Amino acid sequence: MSSVKGWKKCRVRDICNLGRGRVISAQEIERNPGVYPVYSSQSLNNGKMGSIDTFDFNGECITWTTDGAYAGTVFYRSGKFNCTNVCGTLHAKEDVCIPFIAYKLSTLTKNYVSYVGNPKLMNGVMANIELFIPISKAEQAKIAEILSTVDKAIEQTEVLVVKQQRIKTGLMQDLLTRGIDEHGTLRSEKTHKFKDSPLGRIPVEWNVQPLSELAHVDRGKFTHRPRNDPHFYGGEFPFIQTGDVTSMIGRRVYTYTQTLNARGTTVSKEFPRGTIAITIAANIADTAILGIPMYFPDSIVGAVVSPPNTTRFIELMLRRWKPILERLASQSAQKNINLEVLRPLLIPIPGPEEQQRIGNLYNRLDINQERMEQKLLKLRSLKTALMQDLLTGKKRVIVLS
């Protein structure tokens, strides 16, 4: 796209002055607390590591991480701030739109990181990065405005996703220890009767039963060796792996990364729709529910819940015991659990109607969260597409004078 009318080629050094932050220790931040942020190499919290009572920079600036795991990560900064010596700085020396230059560089810098030893993108390399940009600052600013609007929508949606998850986690903690009565009221010891059990205090209406009495629990299998023999794969039968479960925790699984052919099914085991898939090796006690029949290897256990108990409630309880199962797994030479651990696992269990009420409430919360997650994915895809089009001149923006 180097022949786009109204765009030009330049190098970073042509339009920006390069600099670097200074050494700012954690002790300095502790000694001199203030309101002016200190930015460093971390990617969390926009790179902020604290605040002090003085500032080194004032105005618009680009910082980037010069070395370490996040080398080449670009940030737009404005106002009064500080940055440490693992940050390079760019200040405009031509009349350019700094937010636009930041967006442009964010698509390029990772290509210039040196991975010889510690990852690095030093000032000398940054200075010579070639840019292709609009000549008009107004066009640069319009592109930056569009991308910034999408960024704000992404940030707002990310906050909502985190909030939804926090609400869901807190509510489920209450529901799985106290439950809800027939009037839809969350129980408490002040308003309802509770009793002692091997698992602590539970509502008097609840019982404690081993998982084996609530579900048929069996291990997947793939008996042929070597496991990767191509003669058994590539057919029409879904064959899910630990990663397929881990990527869909608590959700219904319809997708898969591998399939078996008819020969493969003879050395494996199929589980029906609605089975709770439980990972038992490496990733311990991650759970998901099958949306369609699938085959498992022996690194996954299937729990087929027996009526009148509900699959969602049992899945939620298994997820609640994940930390305990992980601790049990760490006691073995290889991190895993087996049927002898899962089948006797004690589950506090209410009646079927209450299980259904709890499951329905969880499903409503999860559907709302999933909608937010899908919105977030669409916004991120939109931003990627816009950056590919607008930052290269493939699509032009209209600038009103």
DSSP structure class, residue 109: G
Tell me the CATH number of domain 7-133, given options 3.90.220.20, 3.20.20.220, 3.30.420.480, 1.10.510.10. 3.90.220.20
Average pLDDT, rounded, for the chain: 94
CATH 1.10.287.1120 in the chain, residue ranges: 136-186+352-401
Q: What percentage of residues in the chain have a pLDDT greater than 90?
A: 89
Q: pTM of the full predicted structure? A: 0.84
Give the tens place of pLDDT for each residue, 142-152: 999 999 999 99
SS (H, E, C) 39-92: ECCCCHHHHEEEEECCCCEECCEEEEECECCCCCCEEEECCEEEEECCEEEEEE
- Three-class SS state of 235: strand
Residue 331 has pLDDT above 70, yes or no: no
Of the pLDDT bands very low, low, confident and very high (cuts 50, 70, 90), residue 94 is confident
CATH number of 136-186+352-401: 1.10.287.1120
Q: Which superfamily does CATH assign the domain made up of 207-349 to? A: DNA methylase specificity domains (3.90.220.20)
183 pLDDT more than 90: yes
**Span 288-321, pLDDT tens digits:** 999 999 999 999 999 999 999 999 999 999 999 9
1 has pLDDT over 60? no
CB 75 within 8 A of CB 62: yes
pLDDT tens digit string along 221-274?
999 999 999 999 999 999 999 999 999 999 999 999 999 999 999 999 999 999
Task: Convert the pLDDT of each residue in 347-383 to its tens digit.
Answer: 999 999 999 999 999 999 999 999 999 999 999 999 9
As annotated, the residues of the chain forming the CATH 3.90.220.20 domain(s) are 7-133, 207-349
Residues 6+ apart with CB under 8 A from 131: 9, 10, 11, 12, 15, 101, 104, 105, 108
What is residue 327's predicted lDDT score, i.e. its pLDDT? Answer: 87
Residue 366: strand, helix, or coil = helix
